[in-house]
Amino acid sequence: MSDQGSSARKPAVSSLATLRMEIDRIDEEMHQLLIERGEIIESLIRVKGTQETGAAFRPAREAAMMRRLVERHRGILPLDTAEGIWRVIISTFTYVQANYSVHADMAAGDAFVRDSARFHFGFTTPLVPHMSASAVVTAVAASRGDLGLVPAGTVTGSGNWWKALEDEGAPKIIARLPFVERDDHPASLPLFVVSKPLVKDAAVEEVAIWSFEVDGWNAAAAGALSAGTEVLAFPQGGAGQAALLISLNPGAAREASEAALKAAGVTVRHAALVGGHASRYTVSPGK
């Protein structure tokens, strides 16, 4: 009886050993592929040479890569895990190409911002905390190729930090995080990525971001803008004076937004393009 029980278990043990060998083989292949990726990056660095300066961060390419990841993902591995692994791989190899730091405005909550920074840029890239968005923009402007993270929503005391992005050579908004949005995302805090102006093919401006100075601003005026338009407003003195940060979706023209504001009794005194990012990409929870 004992011999029969032992014999019955042998195939299962053998199968378990085989499966573990397969896991070890896959792990080794993944590591070898990472090494191979590193070798390609080394070649890329040599090819680029002195052709480009500043950050190697390419938001247009990264947004497309993350979308392709979501589209092909399947199986029991959570999307959060797959996305997190890819973010670490991408951001670390970007850091290897051109060392940079990430300056983050912690005023929105240290834990939330830190979680988002580490999820998207890993632990190899240095994280430099600041207590205002303005300080982040100043640090990025003074750097060779650092990135900044600032809230993509209203934070008490943040001020109209985007005014510092208006000059031609000033830092610009180049991305919005997370690249893949969903209700159960582990790093769901909306953040803008700020950088010195990138080379032409590196940025994507499907969503254009404008800085407006207006008179006559009121709570109802935001409703006059086209659906999906996002507005951050910061009061500037009396008479409804305000600084606005307006994100216009693809196909939405600045002139149309100005006309809509005018119809709502708002006068636009000044407008400047301060950046842009890829269209927001949302997937259903549990993907």
- Among residues 189, 216, 237, which one ends one of the domains? 189
pTM: 0.87
The tens place of each residue's pLDDT in the chain, 287 residues long, gives: 455 555 555 555 669 889 999 999 999 999 999 999 999 998 888 887 644 555 678 898 899 999 999 999 999 999 999 999 999 999 999 998 889 999 999 987 789 999 999 999 999 999 999 999 999 999 999 999 999 999 998 766 678 899 999 998 999 999 999 999 998 899 999 999 999 988 777 777 889 999 999 998 887 887 888 777 888 888 776 678 889 999 988 878 888 888 888 888 899 999 999 999 999 899 876 66
Domain span at residue 33 reads 9-50
Residue 200, domain member (yes or no): no
Asked if residue 235 and residue 184 are part of one domain, the reply reads: no
The answer as to whether 3 is a domain residue is no
Residue type, 62: E
Overall number of domains in the chain = 3
In a domain, 18, yes or no: yes
Question: Are 132 and 78 in a shared domain?
Answer: yes
Residue 122's alpha-carbon distances to 64, 88, 125, 152, in angstroms, are 19, 5, 6, 21
Shared domain check, 80 and 137: yes
Closest CA to 107 of 212, 179, 191, 185: 191
Q: What is the DSSP code (8-state) at residue 216?
A: S
Give yes or no: residues 82 and 173 share one domain. yes
User: 197-227: buried (b, 16+ CB within 10 Å) or exposed (e) per residue?
Assistant: ebeeebbbbebbbbbbbbbbbeeebbebbee
